[in-house]
Amino acid sequence: MKAIVIHRFGPPEVLSYEDLPDPAPRAGEIRIRVHAATVNRVLDVRLRAGTEGHRGATLPLIPGVDCAGIVDAVGAGVTRWRVGDRAAAAGVMPLDVCAEDEAGYTGPQGMMGVRRPGGFAELVCVPASAGVAVPAALDFHHAAVIMRHAPTAWNLLCNLAKLKAGETVLIMGAGGNLGTVGIQIAKHVIGATVIAAAGSYERVQLGLELGADHGVDYHARDLHDAVMEITAGRGVDVLYDNIANPRVLPRAFKTLGLDGRMVTAGAHAGPEAAIDFHHLYDRRITIIGRPGHRAEDRATCFAAAAEGKIRAQIERVLPLSRAAEAHRLVESGEVQGKIVLDPTMG
Ligand SMILES: NC(=O)c1ccc[n+]([C@@H]2O[C@H](COP(=O)([O-])OP(=O)(O)OC[C@H]3O[C@@H](n4cnc5c(N)ncnc54)[C@H](OP(=O)(O)O)[C@@H]3O)[C@@H](O)[C@H]2O)c1
């Protein structure tokens, strides 16, 4: 098979497009013929550069922390999957051989593309328990992006903040990955009033196009004043911030009203940002930080995407052989949506 291999950390040129033997699925594993794998700022680009801690990565490594495609072989003991099924996988999973349902597995866990071979390959083996069925109505490129971002947004808004229909949510970084999907979940799935906030006119416009009721460019005007104007002084019920921008988050925090909830799973512009403790206790605010999601959130997000309630923002789909170019694009910070690699294109 063709795969991208990293032999040493460094610039995008270390992503080497090579011929490797086809991997064989071990007991309890499925092999996926990859049609899509996403390229991510932290998990792929910074990891490859060697600037983001190595998260236990061992070289040489086939990167790619997710994949979507077609099951083309199953290992011994696998009954839930058949050759030809549409499947996606991502994130942390058992590293050793485990039963199909993972029951009783106490061995080491790690992320695909970091501690076990990843999705930047024509073929990848993953534990059967890590696979999620991709609905027929969802193409693989969208499935990979939905898998990567939507469950985290779902967990933050639905499970943790418990955002309800009729409540108001302030979505920070509205043009980003978690921002764009958060807007759609809040609006089209939950039925909340959504304020999309971002640091440019274009990113605010994108938030409005995705369904936000209001938009604020926090580089053009004071975020707190704008939100209080929009909410007639009441403030918002939920603040969704995965950026921790120290210049903007303090003003966003002050927009939380009584019994407000702030949820977060990211801090790439921080991690330190000041908040007003008087406001915290006076408004009885709860702050919840938690990455990840519940296992069932993936299938729920796929179903919502198949119904057209959530759409992934894809900037470009490139052949696997152009992985280095994909990394350069993500690194440049100039791309708005996701870059997806498709090994079936070469
Ligand atoms: N599955 C996931 O997506 C996931 C899961 C867990 C954790 N996270 C974490 O959540 C965070 C957001 O992920 P994402 O994929 O949504 O990020 P993103 O799309 O790359 O960026 C989100 C927004 O952050 C702002 N931003 C980017 N770089 C910045 C910088 N250097 N300084 C200040 N602001 C900057 C930009 O918004 P404005 O300029 O408009 O403010 C951008 O639109 C990351 O820290 C990520 O590690 C993500």
pLDDT, tens digit, for every residue of 10-52?
999 999 999 999 999 999 999 999 999 999 987 888 889 887 6
pLDDT at 145: 97
Distance of CA 140 to the CA centre of its chain: 15
Do the beta carbons of residue 119 and residue 112 sit within 8 Å?
A: yes
Query: Ligand 1 pocket check: which of 268, 288, 290 to mutate, most ligand atoms within 8 Å of Cβ?
Result: 268
The finding on whether 48 has its CB within 6 A of some atom of ligand 1 is: no
Distance CA 247, CA 234 (A): 23
What percent of the chain shows pLDDT beyond 70?
A: 99
pTM of the model: 0.92
The finding on whether 203 has its CB within 6 A of some atom of ligand 1 is: yes
- Ligand 1, closest atom to CA 40? 15
User: Ligand 1: distance of its center to the CA of 226 in Å?
Assistant: 22
Strand partners, 19: 2
Helix (H, G, I), strand (E, B) or coil at 101: coil
When pLDDT is cut at 50, 70 and 90, the band that residue 53 belongs to is low
Q: What is the mean pLDDT of residues 241-254?
A: 98
Query: Is pLDDT above 70 for 95?
Result: yes
Distance of CA 107 to the CA centre of its chain: 25
Do the beta carbons of residue 122 and residue 51 sit within 8 Å?
A: no
Strand partners, 74: 30
Query: Is pLDDT above 80 for 68?
Result: yes
Q: What is the mean pLDDT of residues 270-290?
A: 97
When pLDDT is cut at 50, 70 and 90, the band that residue 108 belongs to is very high
The finding on whether 313 has its CB within 6 A of some atom of ligand 1 is: no
Query: Ligand 1 pocket check: which of 40, 223, 243, 297 to mutate, most ligand atoms within 8 Å of Cβ?
Result: 243
Query: Ligand 1 pocket check: which of 41, 47, 183, 242 to mutate, most ligand atoms within 8 Å of Cβ?
Result: 242
